[in-house]
Structure formats: structure tokens, C-alpha cells
Amino acid sequence: MFAKSTAGAALISSAIATLLSNTAMSQVHPEKPTYKYEKCYGVARAGQNDCFFAGNSCAGTAAHDNLPGAWVYVPQGTCKKITGGTLDPPKQG
């Protein structure tokens, strides 16, 4: 009976480890730019956001264009020049 429990526990542990590693590999967090940048909210195209926000978990996962919480890196001083761009993340609530 002990051997069955050990084998079952090993199988469950292996499954959990695989799940966690697949989740970690699917999350994409881009490197910060080497130039002076700012995060520009509300202008990312679907699938082109640079990082996670409430409602998704990683870069490239925004489902729609111009989601208020989705952001992209832009050169410093340019966000406010983009229609709809803001430096302030949306308020949670």
C-alpha cells in the first residue's frame, strides 16, 4: 500500500511541476528598453501590449485595441502626443 501512495504522490507532484513550468513559460515580460521610456496606457493594439495588467497576465495578451489598462513602452515624452495615451494607469475599483 505504501508503494501505491508513493507512486501516486510522485505522479501528482510531476503533474503540478509540469503545470507550473508551462504557466511560467507562457508568461512573457519584455525587457525594459535601453532608451529613456515611459509606460503609455490606453494605446496598445490587441495582442501588442508590453506587459500584464488587470484582466490578463502577460505581454501580447490584450484582447482588444486601446484597453485602458494595457500599456506599451514608448520613448519618454511621446505618450501624451498619442491620441488616447495617458501616463496614469486606470483606477481599480
Residues 52-77 have pLDDT tens digits of 665 555 677 788 899 888 889 999 99
* 88 in a structural domain: no
pLDDT reported for residue 57: 59
Rounded Cα–Cα distance for residues 71 and 90 (Å): 11
Q: Within a domain: residue 13?
A: yes
Is 52 within a domain?
yes
How many domains are there within the chain?
Answer: 1
Confidence check: pLDDT of 79 > 70: yes
Using pLDDT thresholds of 50, 70 and 90, give the confidence band for residue 93: low
Instruction: Report the largest interatomic distance among the alpha carbons of the chain, rounded to a whole angstrom.
Output: 69
Task: Tell me, yes or no, whether 92 lies in a domain.
Answer: no
Write out pLDDT tens, residues 4-43: 556 666 656 555 554 444 444 445 567 788 899 999 999 9
Q: For every residue of 16-64, which 3-state class applies, written as one string?
A: HHHHHHHHHHHCCCCCCCCCCEEEEECCCCCCCCCCCECCECCCCCCCC
The answer to whether residues 63 and 46 touch, using CB atoms and an 8 Å cutoff, is yes
Q: Is the pTM of this model over 0.75?
A: no
For residue 86, tell me if it sits in a domain.
no
Residue 87 lies inside a defined structural domain of this protein: no
